[in-house]
Amino acid sequence: MIISGGGTGGHIYPALALIEDLLKQEPQSEVLYIGSTRGLEKEIVPKKGIPFKALKIQGFKRSLSLYNFETVALFLKSVHNSKKIIKDFKPDVVIGTGGYVSGAVVYAASKMHVPTMIHEQNSVVGLTNRFLSKHVDKIAVGFKDAIKQFPANKTFFAGNPRAQQVANIQSDFKWSSYGLDDNKPTLLIFGGSQGALKINQVTAEAIKHFNGCDYQVVFVTGQKRYDSIMNYIDNNKINVGNNVIIKDYISNMPEILPKVDAIIGRAGATSLAEITALGIPSILIPSPYVTADHQTKNALSLVKNGAALIITENDLNVKRLTENADQIMNNKNERMLMKENSYNMGCRNSADLVLDMARSILK
């Protein structure tokens, strides 16, 4: 299998989940990951011991620009280089999980009549997968809302492969290792690995409220924003109570998530796959800085199923944040209902579904 997905973790982690599942099922399988020279995958994938090749490619700018001529040239060169790699590796199937690099790789494979498949994680279809949909044999989607945006005869719902990976993690983590109470409801506030500026600012101001709550709060700022948040807390003489801890980063997040009672965070596809796989109630604050506002559409799919609350970034303030947090954390019955609704949305065999469909198209 050749698999390609690049740029962000949202494209990379589903690909890694598919690889992990394949090698569990068929340890003799050979896998090659093709990524870009610019994306996070060039750092993440080789560390997993997975054979990796990189292509130089970039995305389009949405304005008229000479940059776009270079983009076209790099795409055509990447298609040419992909054909060489495919000819040498001789894959049975090529799967793309999104990002510009997967566009070149999967397109090249389709032109060589190699069975191809793509996975779309978001509720709004990305530019690359919209282009590839005309050329591939099968299309898997992570949100049912995306089905209608693809050709019906080759599209199926599979959920996000990352969900299966997270659901299978066995965790013996204890909050007492962080100095917290293992028997208290725990709220995780996490704006992503890089942090989210406004979420961080509002949460820092809300610490005074959280200090007096019967639940405990784990606030993860992101590494590059930690110092500024701690300076703000010091400068404003905000006391951090015993039921609140502030971390810059949590490296073992998948082990911690099963111990979380509710989460406040963004609405990226991978994050939502993880929390629905585990059935975690959530307060979602979609990033307004993404293509086609797809995080809002992702979030609304949970909201309409009673699995989440939503706050737009424009409406985010201390009052809204703390009222929503209290609504979930102080009402166990409501929290348990949201947990059940979230769990019912999860797809905990999604990697298996994608691989089964990939096998069905082998020629």
User: What does the pLDDT read at residue 131?
Assistant: 94
User: What does the pLDDT read at residue 291?
Assistant: 79
User: What does the pLDDT read at residue 289?
Assistant: 86
Annotated binding-site residue? 10: yes
User: Is 2-165+348-360's fold the same as 175-345's?
Assistant: yes
290 pLDDT band (50/70/90 cuts)? confident
Decide: residue 82, CB within 10 A, 0-12 exposed, 13-18 middle, 19+ buried: buried
Question: Is 309 within 8 Å of 329 (Cβ atoms)?
Answer: no
Mean pLDDT of 252-277: 94
Annotated binding-site residue? 123: no
Domain locations in the chain? 2-165+348-360, 175-345
Q: Which CATH number fits domain 175-345: 3.40.50.2000, 3.40.50.970, 3.40.630.30, 3.10.50.40?
A: 3.40.50.2000
**What is the percentage of the chain residues whose pLDDT exceeds 70?**
98
Question: Is 39 within 8 Å of 99 (Cβ atoms)?
Answer: yes
Annotated binding-site residue? 250: yes
The separation between the first and the last C-alpha atoms of the chain, rounded to the nearest angstrom, is 13
Q: HSE-up of 312 (CA within 13 Å, CB side)? A: 7
- Give pLDDT tens digits for 99-112: 999 999 999 999 99
Closest CA relative to residue 71, chosen from 97, 42, 38: 38
User: What does the pLDDT read at residue 193?
Assistant: 67
Annotated binding-site residue? 301: no
Annotated binding-site residue? 306: no
Q: Edge to edge, what strands does the sheet with 94-96 contain? A: 52-55, 32-36, 2-4, 94-96, 116-120, 138-141, 155-157
- Label residues 177-197 b or e (16+ Cβ within 10 Å = b): ebebeeeebbbbbbbeeebbe
User: What does the pLDDT read at residue 363?
Assistant: 65
Mean pLDDT of 222-238: 93
Compute the distance between CA of residue 314 and CA of residue 184 in angstroms, rounded to an integer: 31
Annotated binding-site residue? 39: no
Which amino acid would we find at residue 211?
N
- Give pLDDT tens digits for 238-259: 999 999 999 999 988 889 999 9
Compute the distance between CA of residue 328 and CA of residue 185 in angstroms, rounded to an integer: 10
Q: What is the DSSP secondary structure assignment for residue 188, as one 8-state letter?
A: E
Closest CA relative to residue 305, chosen from 269, 254, 344: 344
8 versus 167: which is more confidently predicted? 167
- What is the SS3 assignment for 97? coil
Q: What is the pTM of this model?
A: 0.88
Q: HSE-up of 145 (CA within 13 Å, CB side)? A: 18
User: What does the pLDDT read at residue 254?
Assistant: 87
User: What does the pLDDT read at residue 104?
Assistant: 97
- Give pLDDT tens digits for 117-141: 999 999 999 889 999 999 999 999 9
Question: Is 153 within 8 Å of 133 (Cβ atoms)?
Answer: no
Mean pLDDT of 179-183: 96
In Å, how far are 173, 284, 300 from 279, measured between CA atoms? 18, 14, 16
User: What does the pLDDT read at residue 71?
Assistant: 82
Annotated binding-site residue? 295: yes
- Give pLDDT tens digits for 302-314: 999 999 999 999 9
Structure tokens at 235: 């400068």
Structure tokens at 126: 């990305």
Mean pLDDT of 280-295: 92
What CATH architecture is 2-165+348-360?
A: 3-Layer(aba) Sandwich (3.40)
Closest CA relative to residue 39, chosen from 128, 158, 152: 128
- Give pLDDT tens digits for 42-61: 999 999 999 999 999 887 76
Compute the distance between CA of residue 241 and CA of residue 21 in angstroms, rounded to an integer: 42
Q: Edge to edge, what strands does the sheet with 216-220 contain? A: 244-247, 216-220, 186-190, 262-265, 282-284, 308-310
- Give pLDDT tens digits for 312-362: 999 999 999 999 999 999 999 999 999 999 999 999 999 999 999 999 999
